[in-house]
Structure 1
Amino acid sequence: MKWEIIHKATSFIAEEMGVSLKKSALSPNIRERMDHSCAIVDEKGRIVAQAEHIPVHLGSFKIGVINVLNYLEKKEIELEEGDSIIFNDPYISGTHLNDVGVLSPIFYKGKLIGYAVNKAHHVDVGGPLPGSINPLAKTIYEEGVVIPPVKLTKRGKINEEVISIAKENFKVPGFSLGDIKAQLSANKLGGERVKQLFEKYGDITQAWEESIEYSRRLALAEISKWKKGVYEAEDYLEWESSLLPIRIKLNVEEKGIVADFEGTHKQIEGPLNAVLGVTYSSVSFAVRSMIGEVPTNEGFYSLIEVKAEEGTLVNPIKPAAVGGGNVETSQRVADVTFLAMSKFLKVPAAPSGTMMNIMMGGVYKGKYWSYYETVGGGSGGRPCKDGVSAVQNNMTNTLNTPIEIAERQYPILFTEYRIREGSGGNGLHKGGDGIIRGFKMLSKARISILADRFKIGPWGLEGGDNGKPGRVTINGEEYPSKFTEEVKEGDVITVETPGGGGYGKLINH
């Protein structure tokens, strides 16, 4: 069928954009860890196809692209061939400041036919701390530079005024400017490939409509098999000495899923607030994970509705800080959605539940450096088998930063990198084990950690035990899950990530 060929081709275009972005980026965070995502959307701003990239990015495109287009319309900013828009305002883009988005219109024979869009995590976007994810931030202004949707290119020419803002505010501009150009190139490639489809098959917009409808029908057919009802669950985030509740009422209906976060903790003066795009991404990821083979485009996303009161952890009011909401609260929203789904489906126990964000940097040999990475953990035990050890879970889909790359480019020396044996929860099916990653500083620097699951380990299911909580030490001294600290040459930092929860009661023979 013609529409199916076009559907598959458009999905591959998004994948090819991702390959281009990865190969031409300069920062290890994108080039090695693949902390980026790409999609093709139609002229209405609906997702037609997305690559298998970062879950927290992908779902946010559903909200972020429409927000950007609405912003441009409100500001009477018209797009022409060769234009591109850059943006990172979380309250528009739907994630956090580090995720710099680039949106490029696609024209064919003078007519707007869609957009290529990508989002990439820049290792530093300004602000007081290396890595820009600030564990102490009370507002977004303490996390970095806010870029509203503005033209990055005009008729194919780069807007040097925008580039100069990034150059003077991003703390590692060499990486950042290279990554921005890689993002532009990826969108250009996506646009060229879409135009090739138009040249080969004629107007393919109807085929895109059929692709979206196919996804909707397929997803709805799976959801219709689920037991109808309202399922409630609660999970927690750690903040200072408190546990902040995230509550969900998951309503399974004939027409789709409604996730209501009534009763969730109010927004805080801290970085754990998650903008609505993050909350939507996390819910849709959990639901998508239980459906099976379904194309993930507007058809699927149209079946998911999120209700979240303004002024809460899962839908804050600007200028609340949101850097950690993208990387930690997203994990907990996914966890609590899975927990609600465990009331009517067989789902795995909780995974590690933290991205274990490490940010550090300073001046070394007269040059500023900034480093960011996340560390995987254990996945939860499953109804049929054990969890997996040492993997990225839930809302992240990145690789690790190879030790060889990190040591070559930064003043750090790794002292250990291994499985954290015994950290997975016991059960009929054991949770996967976490990771131990340790390194020695070769220069003084500032390090920040933003993590979670240090007080209560990831939950088990059906009688399985919780996974072991996370842990961070500096020279053997334990630190909390969120802190920033000056370290000196020779200091040793050891990160231990949580194991997944166990599934089922352990049978003694």
Structure 2
Amino acid sequence: DDAGTTLRGFLASRGHHADIGGRTPGSMPPFATTLEEEGVVIDDMKLVDAGVFQEEALRAVLSGAAYPARNPDECVADLKAQLAANEAGIAAFRAMVDQYGWPTVAAYIAHVMNNAEASVRRAIGRLRDGSWDYRMDDGARLMVAIRVDRAAGTATIDFTGTAPQHKGNFNAPPAVTRAAVLYVFRCLVDDEIPLNEGCLRPLTIIIPAGSFLNPAPGAAVVAGNTEVSQAVTAALLGALGVVASAQATMNNLLFGNARHQYYETICGGAGAGPDFDGCDAVHTHMTNTRMTDPEVLELRYPVRVETFEIRRGSGGAGRHRGGDGVRRRLRFLEPMTVTILASRRTVPPFGMDGGAPGAAGRQWVERAEVGGEVRIEVMGGRDQATIAAGDSVVIETPGGGGYGNP
């Protein structure tokens, strides 16, 4: 409060930084096995102390790690932008309290959360028990069982049976799994409600320690927020029987060198449902993001977008078809390190109720040879390649699963 004696809440901003160190540009090394290989590990530190931005201390942290940030100036600028966003939020919150008074604001915070809780309880009343055995590309099992108590309006989401911690980076901290659960149950609510913690009150979430959904401290986790979150979402929707799998990956593409670092996620097909076809070429579920416009990308980076089109026929067949993925070809004008971190490359997105799976994703490098010949080098779903000027990378993203017998 104004007297500085009562904590009324926290305001935070979360940003995805282009590079925070790590083994490869873009800070998503596909073969990382420890957290520090994925970037600078920052213990709790004051970014602002007594109103003073601690830039010197911050730069020391960014440059002093085993795999330091490649562009600390950009990191500092991005963090200043996040601080500015926080200040704008604080100002807006204070203006609201000044206008309505704290008791009214506090009461409406409670109303919003209570309404979200009631909305989720009503949605649970329409559900039934279900389970899903979701297989990752490497064969690891993501197990989930949903037990519903309609009378109480509660549900238990139990991930017991999920495979042990991944040796690489396909591990997700429990907060990521909670976020996926929150997202799925919010999707089941018909009412127009803001996303908030009240949605989780009727839910009990069981995440076994030592699994790849609850790894030990220091484990590599860079694929957790991107790939594992999509897998959890697909498994939950499968267990509930409401929709076929979307592409279930973010198709993380990163490229960079000493001067440039860039990261994008690439859209694909959405899953079909009992009364609708899946959408083509969209970001789905846990990756509701936009891509950089081609004009901006080509202006700021030594790259050309040669192809960006719908991958026709990649959606799964069914009474309702899954959405199609996309094909994206980038040609590089400078040597680069290119990294791909993606899923659904060996196990395709599942169909539902007799619907066919969508097509799996794939990617390759086209090497520009002397005399105009092109040499193809296939890349895996977790892979990196050294690119020469004139080479291209092509990515075909997965389609969504179909719903119902064709």
Q: CA deviation at 1:167?
A: 5.2
Does residue 108 (structure 1) correspond to residue 2 (structure 2)? The answer is yes
- Preserved contact between residue 320 and residue 402 of structure 2 (Cα < 8 Å): yes
Q: CA deviation at 1:129?
A: 0.5
Residue 161 of structure 1 aligns to a residue whose secondary structure is helix
Q: CA deviation at 1:491?
A: 1.0
Q: CA deviation at 1:408?
A: 1.1
1:107-145 alpha-carbon deviations (Å, 9 max, x no partner)? 434343211111111111111210111111011111001
The residue number in structure 1 matching 2:370 is: none
Q: CA RMSD in A?
A: 1.4
Q: CA deviation at 1:195?
A: 0.9
TM-score by length of 1: 0.74
One-letter amino acid of the structure 2 residue matched with residue 232 of structure 1: S
Moved more, 413-422 or 170-179: 170-179
Structure-to-structure mapping, 1:23-38, within 5 angstroms: none
Does residue 132 (structure 1) correspond to residue 30 (structure 2)? The answer is no
Q: CA deviation at 1:305?
A: 2.4
Distance 1:420 1:210 in 2: 46
Does residue 208 (structure 1) correspond to residue 109 (structure 2)? The answer is yes
Structure-to-structure mapping, 1:141-160, within 5 angstroms: 141-160=36-55
The residue number in structure 2 matching 1:182 is: 81
Structure-to-structure mapping, 1:494-505, within 5 angstroms: 494-505=394-405
Distance 2:351 2:2 in 1: 53
Structure-to-structure mapping, 1:24-173, within 5 angstroms: 107-110=1-4, 111-165=6-60, 168=63, 169-173=68-72
Residue 269 of structure 2 aligns to a residue whose secondary structure is coil
Among residues 216, 223, 229, which one is paired with 2:124 in the alignment? Answer: 223
Structure-to-structure mapping, 1:308-457, within 5 angstroms: 308-342=207-241, 347-363=242-258, 368-457=259-348
Q: Which has the higher strand share?
A: 1
- Preserved contact between residue 177 and residue 213 of structure 2 (Cα < 8 Å): yes
Distance 1:490 1:316 in 2: 41
- Preserved contact between residue 115 and residue 191 of structure 1 (Cα < 8 Å): no
Distance 1:393 1:484 in 2: 25
Distance 2:166 2:43 in 1: 24
1:388-413 alpha-carbon deviations (Å, 9 max, x no partner)? 00100111110112111111111111
The residue number in structure 2 matching 1:303 is: 202
- Preserved contact between residue 274 and residue 329 of structure 1 (Cα < 8 Å): yes
Residue 172 of structure 2 aligns to a residue whose secondary structure is coil
One-letter amino acid of the structure 2 residue matched with residue 244 of structure 1: A
Residue 164 of structure 1 aligns to a residue whose secondary structure is helix
* Structure 2 residues without counterparts, runs of 5 or longer: 367-375
Does residue 267 (structure 1) correspond to residue 165 (structure 2)? The answer is yes
Distance 1:162 1:397 in 2: 34
Distance 1:222 1:290 in 2: 6
- Preserved contact between residue 167 and residue 177 of structure 1 (Cα < 8 Å): no
Residue 108 of structure 1 aligns to a residue whose secondary structure is coil
The residue number in structure 2 matching 1:54 is: none
Q: CA deviation at 1:157?
A: 1.4
Q: CA deviation at 1:378?
A: 0.5
Distance 2:254 2:48 in 1: 31
Distance 1:504 1:221 in 2: 27
Distance 2:250 2:29 in 1: 15
Q: CA deviation at 1:210?
A: 2.4
The residue number in structure 2 matching 1:68 is: none
One-letter amino acid of the structure 1 residue matched with residue 141 of structure 2: P
Does residue 257 (structure 1) correspond to residue 155 (structure 2)? The answer is yes
One-letter amino acid of the structure 2 residue matched with residue 413 of structure 1: R
Q: Which has the higher helix share?
A: 1
Among residues 144, 166, 178, which one is paired with 1:248 in the alignment? Answer: 144
- Preserved contact between residue 20 and residue 62 of structure 2 (Cα < 8 Å): no
Residue 286 of structure 1 aligns to a residue whose secondary structure is helix
Q: CA deviation at 1:166?
A: 5.6
- Preserved contact between residue 246 and residue 349 of structure 2 (Cα < 8 Å): yes
Distance 2:43 2:62 in 1: 16
The residue number in structure 2 matching 1:64 is: none
Kindly report structure 1 stretches of 4+ aligned residues shifted beyond 3 Å: none
The residue number in structure 1 matching 2:373 is: none
- Preserved contact between residue 138 and residue 320 of structure 1 (Cα < 8 Å): yes
Q: CA deviation at 1:155?
A: 2.5
Residue 311 of structure 1 aligns to a residue whose secondary structure is coil
The residue number in structure 1 matching 2:354 is: 463
Distance 2:131 2:93 in 1: 43
Provide the identity percentage: 34
Q: CA deviation at 1:201?
A: 1.2
Among residues 348, 363, 378, which one is paired with 1:472 in the alignment? Answer: 363
Residue 117 of structure 1 aligns to a residue whose secondary structure is coil
Distance 1:373 1:472 in 2: 15
Q: CA deviation at 1:306?
A: 1.7
TM-score by length of 2: 0.92
Distance 1:302 1:118 in 2: 24
- Preserved contact between residue 128 and residue 144 of structure 1 (Cα < 8 Å): yes
One-letter amino acid of the structure 2 residue matched with residue 194 of structure 1: F
* Structure 1 residues without counterparts, runs of 5 or longer: 1-106
Q: How many residues align?
A: 387
